[in-house]
């Protein structure tokens, strides 16, 4: 059930915001925990953060690149010019196509998981998180104006922040003409 309805897409922005925020939260928590733990492979809380991070990474990869089901939110539904968006987005970099790996190592109990050694189990959460941040910033430049204007008229807060790593995407939801490309980018944290 793909949609072009601006009201439905405006409501979906809250869910996109959640995925992006949780991805960044997980990335930072993993970084902090790895720094504080002598043997990170034996840390249950680090594993929980990694599981959360990878599940949200898989959701964002699907949103940006791979519509598996008609009911899935898909970036193409939100943009003004799909061919221009696809050119700017490019193909999915190998390190960001985490779907199979998350399925095999995190979401499903597989025999393949038992065969994975410690080095192969390592996740470069910074490269993944920062890669998705850059892609979400590109995506922001293509979002349809009518979706943003609708967002402001469906009882939402007057100001919405979509945290993207060290970048906060701020949508001022007034009824004036603006595009997602007009969004103010400000730093929330470093690194």
**How is the chain split into domains, by residue range?**
6-187
Question: Taking a C-beta distance cutoff of 8 angstroms, is the pair 95, 122 a contact?
Answer: no
Report whether 26 contacts 52 (CB < 8 A): yes
Torsion sign (Cα): 17, 22, 27, 33? positive
Q: How confident is the model at residue 179 (pLDDT cuts 50, 70, 90)?
A: very low
Higher pLDDT, 166 or 145: 145
pLDDT tens string 108-164: 888 888 888 777 778 899 999 999 989 998 998 898 888 877 765 554 444 445 555
Query: Which residues, in sequence order, are bridge partners of residue 88?
Result: none
Q: Given this model, what pLDDT does residue 126 score?
A: 94
Q: What is the rounded average pLDDT of the residues 23-32? A: 92
Q: Does the structure show a pLDDT above 70 at 182?
A: no
Would you state the pLDDT for residue 72? 87
Instruction: Report pLDDT for 157.
Output: 44
β-pair partners for 162: 169
Give me the pLDDT at residue 15, please.
86
User: For position 85, what pLDDT does the model report?
Assistant: 96
Residue 165 has pLDDT above 70, yes or no: no
Stated length of the chain:
191
The pLDDT of residue 42 is above 80: no
Query: Which of 16-25, 45-54, 118-127 shows the lowest per-residue confidence on average (mean pLDDT)?
Result: 118-127
Find all residues with CB under 8 Å of 29, minimum gap 6, and list them: 49, 53
Across 2-6, 25-29, 68-72, 170-174, the highest mean pLDDT is recorded for 25-29
pLDDT of residue 188: 41
At 61-101, the pLDDT tens digits run 999 999 888 888 999 999 999 999 999 999 999 999 999 88
- Residue 161 φ then ψ, to 5°: -110, 130
Query: Higher confidence at residue 103 or residue 97?
Result: 97
Q: How many angstroms separate the CA atoms of 143 and 77, rounded?
A: 9
What pLDDT, on a 0 to 100 scale, did the predictor assign at position 40? 59
């Amino acid at each position: 059930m793909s949609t072009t309805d601006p009201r439905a897409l405006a409501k979906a922005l809250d869910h996109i915001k959640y995925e992006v925020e949780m991805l960044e939260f997980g990335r930072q928590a993993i970084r902090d925990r790895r720094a504080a733990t002598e043997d990170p492979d034996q840390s249950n809380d680090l594993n929980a953060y990694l599981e959360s991070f990878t599940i949200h990474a898989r959701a964002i990869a699907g949103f940006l690149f791979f519509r598996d089901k008609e009911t899935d939110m898909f970036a193409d539904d939100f943009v003004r010019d799909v061919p221009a968006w696809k050119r700017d987005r490019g193909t999915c970099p190998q390190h960001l196509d985490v779907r199979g790996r998350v399925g095999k190592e995190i979401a499903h109990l597989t025999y393949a998981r038992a065969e994975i050694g410690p080095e192969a189990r390592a996740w470069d959460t910074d490269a993944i998180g920062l890669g998705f941040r850059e892609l979400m910033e590109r995506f922001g430049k293509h979002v349809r104006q009518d979706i943003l204007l609708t967002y402001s008229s469906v009882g939402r807060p007057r100001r919405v922040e979509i945290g993207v790593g060290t970048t906060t995407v701020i949508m001022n939801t007034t009824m004036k003409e603006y595009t997602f490309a007009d969004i103010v980018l400000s730093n929330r944290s470093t690194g």
